Structure 1
Amino acid sequence: MNKFDLKEKFTELKIGSCYNIIEPTLKNAIRVKLNQVSENKIDIGQSKIGGKPDLPLNQKWFTETNIEIIQEKKLFFLNKKSEKEITKSLSFLAQINLSEIKNYDTENLLPQSGMLYFFYSSAQSAWGFDFKDINKFKVFFYDEDLNNLRRNEFPENLEEDGKFKSCELKFESEISLPSCDSEIYERLKEEEMDLIFEEILNEETVNKLLGHPDIIQNEMELECELVTNGIYCGDASGYNNPKAKELEKNAKDWQLLFQIDTNEEAEMMWGDCGRIYFWIKKEDLKNKNFENCWMILQCY
């Protein structure tokens, strides 16, 4: 839906005056639509969700490393505890060939070429509220010759529920409205808000790049800023941290990079019909630096 279509929709719902209030907050986004196909019908280097990734020749599959406590039995009375480092393969979520979407990136926020990869913990053990989750996901940008890519087989240690069905992708430019928690809606009447949420912001499955996130629980920009500064946000203590007030002004620096939904086509489910959101600082996006992205999972 473009701006013209959106304005027409507001007019059709007889809340045209609300469009003028919301219009300054609209963001451009790239909608991603899935179609499940067999792996061999997707060319190497083509955008995809699920299936097997096309990685650079010298790039190994991304992994996470965790410390597990092993309890050993000693005879009949003493137990000995030891630490063991466990390395597991991450699940491959998506690869986006940026040259395929440059015409839909109306503000030229993303690089014009290269490949952007997204991986996440196969055990879905990261929610993003703890900086310790940093190795449980990976955003990787490859900006060299895509002829040097090869299709990787699934690692032996990747469990079946960490493998997803391959899907080819279709892209569309669209206008993204603020999430339902936005303060902008406080300026509207209750019945106007209800119409917007029921008739416009009512899609169950939304995969997209850029734009506003379709939140399930709460806004995430401040959480990204706090957690990446080492503040735990799994409970209210992080937001009450003395440093939180100082960092709050930086929340506006964060930009949604990629939102990947629970997708029936790819047979992927995040928690209880949730979504994974990858975030990046606007300055990092401008500089093509994807090393400091952050990931948050929300579900119902």
Structure 2
Amino acid sequence: MKELEELIKKYELEEVKDYIYENIKNIIYLNLTEKDNYKFKGVSRVGGYPDVPENFQWPKNAEGKLLTFIAQLNLKEISFCDENALLPRKGMIYFFMGIDEPAYDIEHKVIYIEENEKLNLMKPEKPTVLEEEHEQTFTPYKVNGRNSIEIPNYAYVDYDILEDSDAFFSLEEDIRFENTGDNCVGKVYGYPERQHDDAELEAALKIIAKHQYNYRESEKEILIKALGGNKEKAEQEIHDMVMLLEIDSNDKIGFSWWDSGVIHFFIRKEDLKNKNFDNTYLSLYSS
């Protein structure tokens, strides 16, 4: 934290130092390393196709069409970077998605396999939904993880406590740019890239209350009702919603989420701790 201390002094933000430290989030940046020729099975990969165990069933959307493979994370590698100690320590997590229209409640599937022995590359028998939509395949890249920190971005910061928001965002940019670059394709955990600070509420409403968010603060009452009228429990569920994966648009891979946007996979903290990946939420943000 020595570098953070120096940056706080540099931008003369000592008055909000406590706020900064209280709102730090540990994250794992995902960086592209090289194109993947599929020689080594079970690596962490974004794009291309997955390495899966025998009898793996490729997930489909409601119309029976094949979802598109987005990423696989080798947890034995990635969990070394997990300062939050929430990810399983071994196995693979696979991320698949459907058509990204509309930008909310996107069809998807997150699959966890506890053992990652005897994996083999699986190519679908026909184009997946996004391959068909974009008329292209997506180039596979190996990725590795790097642990770092984040402070609130422009959507999540408490503007009421800032006397100098320009200085705060200069600090936020310094921290972010120090850890990202042209090869950064996304992250696990952290603050979602978004216009407003309601991504976790949106996810909680769908996962817990089975309600499609309509961007009204009053809809929090629906979540409270679904939790037996327990307001504190509802606030805790929103607070504990975990961004399991954020993936950026990337020309190298061929991913393009609307106008250079990002996609977010969310999961309840309790479900992640219990290795339950059946209830997740996928949304897209593009400025």
Q: TM-score, normalised by structure 2?
A: 0.84
Structure 1 residue corresponding to 2:103, chosen from 87, 109, 127? 127
Distance across 2 between alignment mates of 1:197 and 1:282? 25
In structure 2, what is the equivalent of residue 46 of structure 1? Answer: 43
Q: Which runs of 5+ in 2 are unaligned?
A: 228-233
- Say which SS state the counterpart of residue 80 (structure 2) adopts: coil
- Say which SS state the counterpart of residue 158 (structure 2) adopts: helix
Q: Is the 8 A contact 1:88 1:157 kept in 2?
A: no
**1:197-234 per-position Cα deviation (integer Å, ceiling 9, x unaligned):** 55445778661112222324543111112123122224
Q: In structure 2, do the counterparts of structure 1 residues 295 and 15 end up closer, same or farther at CA, with 3 Å as the change threshold?
A: same
Distance across 2 between alignment mates of 1:18 and 1:7? 12
Q: Name whichever of 240-249 and 31-40 sits farther off.
A: 240-249
Structure 2 residue corresponding to 1:172, chosen from 124, 146, 149? 146
- Say which SS state the counterpart of residue 167 (structure 2) adopts: helix
- Say which SS state the counterpart of residue 38 (structure 2) adopts: helix
Alignment-mate amino acid for residue 47 of structure 1: S
In structure 2, what is the equivalent of residue 230 of structure 1? Answer: 210
In structure 2, what is the equivalent of residue 152 of structure 1? Answer: 122
- Say which SS state the counterpart of residue 81 (structure 2) adopts: coil
Matched, 1:13 2:11: yes
Matched, 1:265 2:245: no
Distance across 1 between alignment mates of 2:23 and 2:197? 18
In structure 1, what is the equivalent of residue 231 of structure 2? Answer: none
Distance across 2 between alignment mates of 1:95 and 1:11? 40
Q: Is the 8 A contact 1:206 1:214 kept in 2?
A: no
Alignment-mate amino acid for residue 281 of structure 1: R
Alignment-mate amino acid for residue 196 of structure 1: L
Distance across 1 between alignment mates of 2:279 and 2:140? 27
How many aligned residue pairs are there? Answer: 269
CA RMSD of aligned residues (A): 2.5
Distance across 2 between alignment mates of 1:287 and 1:226? 20
Shift of 1:64: 0.5
Q: Is the 8 A contact 1:28 1:175 kept in 2?
A: yes
Q: Is the 8 A contact 1:96 1:116 kept in 2?
A: yes
- Say which SS state the counterpart of residue 259 (structure 2) adopts: coil
In structure 1, what is the equivalent of residue 268 of structure 2? Answer: 281
Q: Is the 8 A contact 2:86 2:272 kept in 1?
A: yes
Distance across 2 between alignment mates of 1:18 and 1:157? 51
Matched, 1:187 2:166: no
Q: In structure 2, do the counterparts of structure 1 residues 177 and 51 end up closer, same or farther at CA, with 3 Å as the change threshold?
A: same
Q: Name whichever of 227-236 and 53-62 sits farther off.
A: 227-236
Q: Which runs of 5+ in 1 are unaligned?
A: 67-86
Q: Is the 8 A contact 1:89 1:155 kept in 2?
A: no
Q: Percent identity?
A: 29
Distance across 2 between alignment mates of 1:194 and 1:104? 26
Q: In structure 2, do the counterparts of structure 1 residues 267 and 6 end up closer, same or farther at CA, with 3 Å as the change threshold?
A: farther
Structure 2 residue corresponding to 1:138, chosen from 93, 97, 109? 109
Distance across 2 between alignment mates of 1:210 and 1:198? 17
Distance across 1 between alignment mates of 2:16 and 2:246? 26
In structure 1, what is the equivalent of residue 230 of structure 2? Answer: none
Distance across 2 between alignment mates of 1:221 and 1:275? 15
Shift of 1:4: 2.8
Q: In structure 2, do the counterparts of structure 1 residues 240 and 111 end up closer, same or farther at CA, with 3 Å as the change threshold?
A: closer
Q: TM-score, normalised by structure 1?
A: 0.80
Q: Is the 8 A contact 2:202 2:212 kept in 1?
A: no
Which has more radius of gyration? 1
In structure 1, what is the equivalent of residue 88 of structure 2? Answer: 111
- Say which SS state the counterpart of residue 88 (structure 1) adopts: coil
Alignment-mate amino acid for residue 233 of structure 1: Y
Q: In structure 2, do the counterparts of structure 1 residues 6 and 206 end up closer, same or farther at CA, with 3 Å as the change threshold?
A: farther
Alignment-mate amino acid for residue 59 of structure 1: F
Distance across 2 between alignment mates of 1:40 and 1:59? 18
Alignment-mate amino acid for residue 207 of structure 1: G
Alignment-mate amino acid for residue 26 of structure 1: I
